[in-house]
């Protein structure tokens, strides 16, 4: 089965662009940029639209002929199936994003989150003790635990060299 053209979802927009175009002729490069396709694909579309040689050894197609050809392509069953497939994929991706958001665990809120991201090695939160051979975390709840683990991660990110030197002392 031949591959479905990747530009199908842009056909309606391209038709509108070409209908508003003041020039009577459309060259390969304009078609390429409008549909976001390669030179080869644009050339194939131009050939399908009965393009003719233009100035400077380029292919050109009458704007009205190109619009008619794109409209007939849009009316095919292949186009309808591809657009329905794309809609199903988008809906599934949206559902996945919603599911991921629902499972998202908040570690800290606003100002506390900013302080957490800015954590430095020398200012670890109370209850976190780092020695050259040991890391001790005292916590009272799951959110407290997550904040302290987050502070350690950000301290490592913000001051990796200092942490590395400190741990290497022992």
According to DSSP, residue 123 is labeled G
Residue 91 has pLDDT above 90, yes or no: yes
Under the banding of pLDDT at 50, 70 and 90, the label for residue 1 is very low
Q: Tell whether the model's pLDDT for residue 169 goes beyond 80.
A: no
d(CA 42, CA 44): 5
Q: What is the pLDDT of residues 37-68, one digit of tens each?
A: 999 888 888 888 788 887 777 888 888 888 98
Q: Quick one: angle between helices 28-35 and 11-20, nearest 10?
A: 130
Domains and their CATH numbers in the chain: 8-96 (1.10.10), 110-168 (no CATH)
- For the entire predicted model, the pTM comes to 0.52
Looking at the DSSP bridge assignments, the partners of residue 60 are: 27, 52
Q: For the segment 136-164, what is each residue's pLDDT rounded down to a tens digit?
A: 999 999 888 888 888 888 888 888 888 88
% of the chain residues with pLDDT over 70: 92
Q: What are the pLDDT digits (tens) for 105-134?
A: 666 666 777 777 778 888 888 899 988 888
Supply the pLDDT for residue 106: 60
- Please name the residue ranges forming H helices in 9-141: 11-20, 28-35, 39-48, 63-74, 77-103, 110-117
Q: What are the C-alpha distances in Å from 133 to residues 124, 138, 163?
A: 17, 17, 12
């Amino acid at each position: 089965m031949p591959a479905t053209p990747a530009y199908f979802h842009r056909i309606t927009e391209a038709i509108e662009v070409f209908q508003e175009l003041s020039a009577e002729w459309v060259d390969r490069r304009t078609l390429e940029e409008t549909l976001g396709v390669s030179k080869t694909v644009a050339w194939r579309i131009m050939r399908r639209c009965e393009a003719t040689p233009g100035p400077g050894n380029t292919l050109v197609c009458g704007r009205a002929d190109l619009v008619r050809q794109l409209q007939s392509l849009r009316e095919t069953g292949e186009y309808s199936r591809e657009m329905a497939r794309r809609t199903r994929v988008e809906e599934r991706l949206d559902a996945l994003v919603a599911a991921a958001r629902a499972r998202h665990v908040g570690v800290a809120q606003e100002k506390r989150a900013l302080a957490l991201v800015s954590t430095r090695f020398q200012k670890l939160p109370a209850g976190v003790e780092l020695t050259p051979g040991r890391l001790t975390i005292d916590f009272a709840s799951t959110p407290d635990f997550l904040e302290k683990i987050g502070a350690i991660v950000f301290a490592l990110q913000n001051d990796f060299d200092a942490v590395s030197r400190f741990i290497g002392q022992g």
